[in-house]
Chains A and B, each alone.
Chain A
Amino acid sequence: MTMLDPAAPQTGSLVPTLPGHWYTDPAIFAAEQERIVEAGWVCVALAADLDAPGAYRTVQVGRESVVVVKGRDKAVRAFFNVCRHRGAQLCVEPAGQVRNKLQCPYHAWTYDLTGKLIAAPNLTEMPDVDRFANGLAAVAVREWIGYVWVCVAPEPPSFEDEVVGAVVTRLGDVESIDHYGVENLRLARRIGYEVQANWKLIVENFMECYHCATIHPELTEVLPEFADGYAAQYYVGHGAEFGSGVEGFTVDGSAGHARIPGVSADQDRRYFAITIRPGVFVNLVPDHVIVHRMTPLAPDRTLVECDWLFLPEVVESGADVDRSVELFHRVNSQDFAACERTQPAMSSRVYANGGNLVPSEHHIAEFHHWVQSRLA
């Protein structure tokens, strides 16, 4: 594989992107799954998605299938979705509800919601079988900002460094996101997008705003500075300011909903964006929070789930959030169409050595170096 040289002197306006095959090569994709997705913390569910004991989600983490389940003790746990007997997947539905156990549909090996093996045909005749050693293989779990994060690595990296650290890098401190009390917000809308593009194209797109004036007419009306091409992510702690006549972060700039109480004066009327590598984008505006979660499925296929979170009273009142949701739904659709337009060219011989980053995109090179360093 062709490597970029982070130490190479930058002489002109243009900095190279990754070569085209980094977006198409199955071997590189497999290495990314192994050394990036499976090695780090992955945001897999809204904690409220697991609302009652026995509620579960089946999620893909790199090449591994993982079951996330709420126990009878209300604790959320995650396990490899692999029966310890002969390997059948325990859960195949993306979400569901069990009463008190996970039972393999093949030979009925049965596990309680802590993962312990509690029953199997003829198990009482096998007293030597350790119920814990042969229980479900646990996956590390954390809950943060109202989301469940898992790590399938045997020795997970520091959550504080990898996840919280990404927020601090972008916003300058962790208090800035605490102001939004994301864990207290409620899901108002969720839209899933299956994007026919490599996951890195989606990350790169989110990190820059050079495209904003061209493809995001509604967004640049609300955030006029985006028309200059400099993304909020270009600066530390910077939030893009709403236009003077804009009342709220909505598709037509009309008023949004009740402001989140903790949002400070210098956060009001601003949009902040954070990339938590590899697959989470957090967008903060005064009255709601938008969270994108990406699941790379293939070199040219990525699932993106997008949540719109508002104050509980806004959701409970049945308030119309359509204009708020529509703004970023359009941004998403515009962005993903651009990524899908880009993907086919990644295998063109013209793009064999990659393309170019302009100065307002130069910070994306750091993302490229990060990807390459993880695979080195």
Chain B
Amino acid sequence: MIYACQLSDLPPGGSLRLTDLPGSPPVALFHTEDGELFAVDDTCTHADASLAEGFVEDCAVECPLHAAIFDLRTGEADGMIATHPVRTHTVVASEGQVYLQLSEAIPHLPAAARRAAAS
């Protein structure tokens, strides 16, 4: 597990974009209005946009750029705009701190994000 943030920095309804993670592209952390915590890859698999800036509803996040929708529990894409899933990561809150266990799967990144990661 790696430390992600203070829980107080992530109020219900809030989201955070985490960068500079070891060996991983940016991750989006969500604290839903219902009090659940989720972590998925931040970059939409359709085009380069940050899901942490998206809109969360019914345990799904809608990408702000082209409205692709991903299930926060499974990472599955809506299949309409985005076809590849985002990875999901294990997220745990303990004593006011949020920790992440990053997925070891290979991320699906759009071309622009692959270029950025390579450079």
**Residues of A bordering B, CB below 8 Å:** 99-101, 108, 110, 112, 118-125
Contacts and interface: CB of A to CB of B under 8 A. Distances in A.
Given A121-B49, A124-B50, A124-B112, 18 more contacts: A99-B55, A100-B55, A108-B65, A110-B64, A112-B64, A118-B50, A118-B64, A119-B50, A119-B65, A121-B47, A121-B48, A121-B65, A123-B48, A124-B48, A124-B49, A124-B116, A125-B112, A125-B116
Contact of A123 (B26, B49, B62, B66): B49
B113 interface: yes
B90 to A, nearest CB: 24
B41 to A, nearest CB: 12
B78 interface: no
A118 B48 contact: no
Given A101-B64, A110-B64, A118 B112 contact: no
Contact of B48 (A101, A112, A125): A125
Contact of A122 (B62, B63, B64, B112): B112
B12 to A, nearest CB: 14
Query: Sorted from nearest, which 9 A-B pairs have the closest CB atoms?
Result: A119-B64, A118-B53, A119-B65, A118-B64, A119-B49, A100-B55, A110-B64, A125-B116, A124-B48
Contacts of B66: 108
A124 B62 contact: no
B32 interface: no
B43 interface: yes
A123 B63 CA distance: 13
A107 to B, nearest CB: 11
Interface string B8-36: 00000000000000000010000000000
Contacts of A119: 49-50, 53, 63-65
Nearest to B52: A118
Nearest to A109: B65
16 contacts: A99-B55, A100-B55, A100-B62, A101-B64, A108-B65, A108-B66, A110-B65, A118-B50, A118-B53, A118-B54, A119-B53, A124-B43, A124-B50, A124-B112, A125-B48, A125-B112
Contacts of A124: 26, 43, 48-50, 112-113, 116
A124 B49 CA distance: 6
How big is chain B's contact interface, by range?
10 to 19
A122 B48 contact: yes
A68 to B, nearest CB: 21
A125 B19 CA distance: 12
Contacts of A125: 48, 112, 116
Contacts of B43: 124
Contacts of B53: 112, 118-119
A202 B55 CA distance: 46
A154 B104 CA distance: 52
Contacts of A112: 53, 64
A340 B40 CA distance: 64
Contacts of A108: 65-66
Nearest to A108: B65
Nearest to B55: A100
Contacts of A110: 64-65
Interface in B87-119: 112-113, 116
Contacts of A100: 55, 62
Q: Which of B55, B64, B66, B116 has the most CB of A within 10 A?
A: B64
A118 B44 CA distance: 13
Nearest to A100: B55
A164 B61 CA distance: 44
A52 to B, nearest CB: 15
Contacts of B54: 118
A118 B62 CA distance: 12
Interface string B50-74: 1001110000001111100000000
A118 B113 CA distance: 17
A164 B66 CA distance: 44
A101 B66 CA distance: 11
Contacts of B47: 121
B8 to A, nearest CB: 21
Residue of B47, B53, B112 with most partner-chain A CB within 10 A:
B53
